[in-house]
Chain A
Amino acid sequence: EAGVTQSPTHLIKTRGQQATLRCSPISGHTSVYWYQQALGLGLQFLLWYDEGEERNRGNFPPRFSGRQFPNYSSELNVNALELEDSALYLCASSLERAGGYGYTFGSGTRLTVV
């Protein structure tokens, strides 16, 4: 069974540009979560999608947005990139919303803003 896949692995963008990150969940998983892992800050929750809808959002500005497609894959868009957006972005998927089974994570996209 394929795990959670994220693309691209690395992404270099210029300040002010837009970045698009993609995530494919494990087959059968309907929930996708996005986290930002900046150096020294641990994992900060960004967005949660389930069944195509945004269910919850972390404390991030509106220029962080995303969507979930009918096949449950997801993309994260970051507009008007700032230097402090440089971080590892992790995607996770889970089997059910309230199951508490924890998540399966991808290996992340390293975004560097220059």
Chain B
Amino acid sequence: AQTVTQSQPEMSVQEAETVTLSCTYDTSESDYYLFWYKQPPSRQMILVIRQEAYKQQNATENRFSVNFQKAAKSFSLKISDSQLGDAAMYFCAYRSYGGSQGNLIFGKGTKLSVKP
């Protein structure tokens, strides 16, 4: 069974600085998807960024980028120029490529605080 581990329960960053959130996963599959979701106090999960395992190029979305290391099974999220609105819980998630297991498998999350 696949597992996702986020080793940092809490992180803090100064506004305008850069922070990296860690995520590792365990799988025997070669094709899969990885995601970072943000959950602000409003509770709604918001997709931050998505990576297909067969793509070597790291995904980027504006100030958000990932460092995907397939061999190391590592998928870290870098937030550049941190803003107060980035404060939230961040969840790393895994999804099998095949259709038999369509659900996401989540890590326990990292709570990010942004200091003004």
Contacts and interface: CB of A to CB of B under 8 A. Distances in A.
A103 B46 CA distance: 9
Contacts of A48: 102-103
Interface string A79-114: 000000000101010100110111111111000000
Given A92-B45, A100-B52, A107-B42, A45 B105 contact: yes
B33 A102 contact: yes
Interface residues of B, number: 26
Given A31-B102, A48-B103, A58-B103, A108 B43 contact: yes
Interface of B: 33, 35, 37, 42-47, 50, 52, 91, 95, 97-109
Contact of A98 (B43, B45, B47, B99): B99
B103 A100 contact: no
Interface in A36-57: 40-43, 45, 48, 50, 55-56
B3 to A, nearest CB: 11
A105 B37 CA distance: 10
Contact of B97 (A56, A92, A98, A103): A98
7 contacts: A42-B106, A42-B108, A97-B102, A100-B33, A102-B47, A104-B47, A107-B44
